[in-house]
Amino acid sequence: MKRRDLLGSGIALGAISAFGSSAGAAETDGKFAFTSPPVVQTPLPDSISISWTTGALANCWVEWGYDRKLAFRAKAAHHGLIEFSERFHSIRIRGIKKKRIFYRIAAQELKYGGAYRIRTGETIYSDVFSTGLADPDAEKISLTITNDTHAKNALLDPLIARINALAPDFHVCNGDICDSFNSEEQLARICLTPGSKPLSGWASDRPLLYVPGNHDVRGRHAGAVVKAMSPWPLDPSDPPALNRSAHIAGRYCFALRHGPLALIGLDTGEDKPDRHPAFAGLADYEDYRRAQTQWLKTALKRPEIKSAPFLIAACHIPLRGLKGQNDGQTLKGYASYSGHGQTEWLKPLADAKCRMIISGHTHRPRIQKPDDDCPIYQVIGGGSRASSATLVRLQADNAKLQLTIEDLQAKQIHQLVLKR
C-alpha cells in the first residue's frame, strides 16, 4: 500500500501531511500532499460541493457513491478544459439520488513544462468520508453555529472538538471567520483548515453553511474567498444584482429545507454605508442587500420553505438592535445592527412567520424577545475572546425547536424553546 493511499487503511486523514501549530503553514517535506481536509458545502437535495487544497499544481477529482465502492467520479471543467490549480480545488457533485453519499478526494500532481510538456506525478487519495445532503423529508435536524472566531486557534480548537463530538447534521459559520484576508495561504488555512491541529476538519462528514461577515470582505485577497467558500448555485430567477461578476458564479444567500426546519441565510455585507471613505469606492452592499430582498421574497414562497414547521434566518450583523445602538447608516461609527438590512428584510421574514434570526457581530451573546414592533426573536452569539466565545446549538423536530447558547466549557448560557 502506498503511504498516502489511505482508502480502507484505517489511517486518519491527518496522516497525509502536517501543519505548523502556530502559523498553520503546510509542511509537506517537499512531497506532494493535501494541505487541507475536504470541506463539504452548499448542500441541495441532489447536489453538493466539496473543496480542499493541495501543496502543488494538481488535477483533482472526487470519487463517490452510495456505498464504499465509490462507483462514480466527479470532475470540474469549464469550456472543455479540466480545472487544475496550485492550491484551491472545488468540485460539485450533481445528480445525487439518495440523501447520503460516501466519497474521497483525489489529486494527481502536474509538472507543467509547456503545452506539449505536461507530465503527471503521484496520485494521492484521502480516506473515505460520508456526508448527508439537504433532506426535506428528514424527521429532525441538528445544527451547530459559530460566529466571530476571527481565526483564533484558542477558540477554534475547543469549538471544533465540541462540534465533532456533537456530530450535527450541519455546521453554520455565521461570519467573521477572519480579521481580513491578506494572502491566499491565510485564506486557505482559515477557511478550510481552521484551528491548530493538522488537517482536523469540522465539515468533512457534514455540510458547512457559510454566512459571510463584514470582516470576511476585508483585505487584499477578500475577493478570493469564493475559491475556498463555495457560493450557492445561481438560479435563473435570481436578481442580477446578486452577482454582477462576468466570471464568478454563485451567491451567498440561501434557502435550505431539512426536515422540520427552513433556514434562510442572508449576507449583511459591511457595517458602514457604501459611501464611507474607508472603502475607497469598493463597496456595493446597498444594491446587493436590495437584490437579496427580491430573492428573499421569492425564496419564502417556495413550497418546501413555506410548509416548514419552523422558519429561521441567519445573518452575521443582527437585524434588531438595542435602544440607542448604531444602525450603520451614517459615516459615524459602525453598525451594532444593520438598519438597512432591517428595513429590507424584517417585514418579509415576519410576514412569513420567521421565528428567530441568529446573528453575531456584537461579541455579546443575548436573546432578544419579540415585541410589539417585531414578532421575531433576535439571537446573538458571543465574541472572539475565550471569556465571551460561544457555540449555538439547535435541534428541531416536527413539534419543538430548542436553541442553546453555551460557552467554551459547554456550560449553558441561554436557552430558547419554541413550539410549533
The alpha-helical segments, DSSP class H, found in 16-98 are: none
**For residue 29, what pLDDT is reported?**
66
User: Helix 285-299 crosses helix 339-351 at what angle (to 10 degrees)?
Assistant: 0
Cell of 383: 465574541
Quick one: pLDDT at residue 202?
A: 87
The C-alpha angle 188, 191, 64, rounded to 5 degrees, equals: 90
C-alpha distances in angstroms, 233 versus 249, 251, 297? 7, 7, 18
pLDDT of residue 280: 97
Dist. CA 176–CA 382, nearest whole Å:
12
3-state SS, residue 345: helix
- The CB-side HSE value for 193 (13 A sphere, CA atoms) comes to 30
Comparing 25 with 186, the larger pLDDT belongs to 186
Dist CA 181 CA 191 (whole Å):
10
CA angle (231 as vertex; 290, 126 as ends), nearest 5? 165
pTM: 0.92
| Residue carrying the nine cell digits 452592499 | 285
Q: Is the pLDDT of residue 199 over 60?
A: yes
E strands, 28-140, are 39-44, 47-53, 58-65, 72-74, 77-78, 81-82, 84-85, 88-93, 100-112, 118-125, 129-132
The answer to whether the Cα torsion of 344, 368, 352, 172 is positive or negative is: positive
Ordered domains of the chain (ranges, CATH): 13-132 (2.60.40), 141-419 (3.60.21.10)
Question: What is the average pLDDT across 47-67?
Answer: 97
Beta bridge partners of 34: 54
C-alpha 2/C-alpha 126 separation (Å) is 12
Copy the grid coordinates of residue 164: 465533532
Whether the per-residue pLDDT at 69 is higher than 70: the answer is yes
Q: What is the tens place of the pLDDT at every residue in 162-175? A: 999 999 999 999 99
Work out the average pLDDT over 238-252.
Answer: 94
Tens digit of each residue's pLDDT (9 = 90 or more) over 4-43: 343 333 333 333 333 332 223 344 567 999 999 999 999 9
Closest CA to 352 of 307, 384, 291: 307
**Does the structure show a pLDDT above 50 at 408?**
yes
Helix (H, G, I), strand (E, B) or coil at 296: helix
Q: How far apart are CA 30 and CA 10, in angstroms?
A: 25
Q: Strand, helix or coil at 238?
A: coil
Average pLDDT, the chain: 92
In the structure, how many helices (H) and strands (E) does the chain have?
5, 25
